[in-house]
A = this chain, B = another copy of it.
Amino acid sequence: MKSKLSFTLSQIAAQCNAEVLGEGSTLISGIGTIAGATQGEITFLANTLYRDSLKHTRASAVILSAEDASFSPSPCLISKNPYATYARAAQMLFPAEATPIGVHPSAVIAQDVVLSENVSIGPHVVIESGAQIGRGVVIDSGTYIGRDTVIGANSRLYSGVRLYHETHIGERAIIHSGVVIGSDGFGMAWDKGGWIKIPQIGRVVIGHDVEIGANTTIDRGAIENTVIEDGVKLDNQIQIAHNCHIGANTVIAGCTGVSGSTTIGKNCRIGGGVGIVGHLNICDGVTVTGFTMITKSITEPGIYSSGMPGVQHKNWMETLVHLRHLSDWIKRIKSLEKVLKKEE
């Protein structure tokens, strides 16, 4: 992928925590994969297993670790963390696009909203009374900011985000299209043959440096708040129920649902399609692999799983039959044991 910018390898090294091996004046004006990179692009090797594939790369430079450097046919950026160096180089070559400062005339903004300097408010945005928009915030078209909601400096809300009233977003947030934050939690009481709605009077409070993927939903608290700490990264189509608390730097992959009042610790890594039952405590440093259901609190860091890998349909049908009759087989084992015991 070609950038509109270009830098020498030395310039990139200086800003990305890496050292040049080879010609530092090599001009870099794009990023590519090992197989797909073309002349002028830089690529990276994050996994030493694939170092043989470097042989055929047409990249003009490679980001890699010192141990793998001899496998590169091109000048290198040597880094202790090639993946992070690649991230930084990509940020340099592909910076966030500047958005025009100012408020589009079609935006509807309540009189008392606090707009800090350098905000960019797109067409058809609506901002309700009492909201506070921090310095350098970008709000794309059609986004809705509810009453008394606060958005920290340098956050970006893409088109069509919906923040209900009293939501608090920290600084440098990135919130993608279709995200809904602060909608009512799922709370009702059964009484005399019908459901009574329980007003959801808590809020959603989100820390700094949080990214939230497209169409993810985060419900407001029932009484107390739903809390997302600093540095949390949520993928697309995640559902966070009321009163959850997600610890700092935890990452959650797409299509995962977390039920109400569950606490997830810091630095956890939750896979995609996971379901976590309500009212649990997951400690710091837990990894949950994809498609797992967590039904109990977890007190030990480690990896937890229950995803069932797909196999050929007829084999799976066979396994299901066996599972259905597991009790019978166990009885037959016990009978065998009894017979043998008698014989002894």
Contacts and interface: CB of A to CB of B under 8 A. Distances in A.
B223 A214 contact: no
A236 B217 contact: yes
Interface string A251-274: 101110101000000000000110
Contacts of A190: 84
B273 A257 contact: yes
B293 A293 contact: no
A253 B104 CA distance: 39
A329 interface: yes
Interface in A170-205: 174, 176-178, 180, 183-184, 186-191, 193-199, 201-202
A92 to B, nearest CB: 9
A174 B254 CA distance: 24
A289 B314 CA distance: 12
Given A144-B142, A209-B194, A223-B31, A189 B81 contact: yes
Given A36-B223, A312-B303, A340-B339, A198 B87 contact: yes
Contacts of A231: 194-195
B126 A144 contact: no
Query: Which of the four size classes fits the interface of chain A?
Result: 35 or more
Contacts of A81: 189, 191
Interface stretch (A7-15, A21-29, A111-119, A318-326): A318-326
A17 to B, nearest CB: 8
Given A259-B272, A332-B337, A310 B293 contact: yes
A237 interface: yes
A239 B254 contact: yes
Number of copies: 3
Contacts of A249: 193-195
A330 interface: yes
B327 A330 contact: no
B293 A308 contact: yes
A160 B91 CA distance: 30
A180 B254 contact: no
A101 interface: no
Contact of A336 (B126, B193, B336): B336
Given A106-B108, A123-B108, A333-B332, A160 B144 contact: yes
Interface string A293-335: 1111000001111111111110011111011101101101100
A60 interface: no
Contacts of A339: 340
Given A180-B214, A219-B214, A293-B308, A255 B255 contact: yes
Contacts of A308: 293, 306, 308, 320
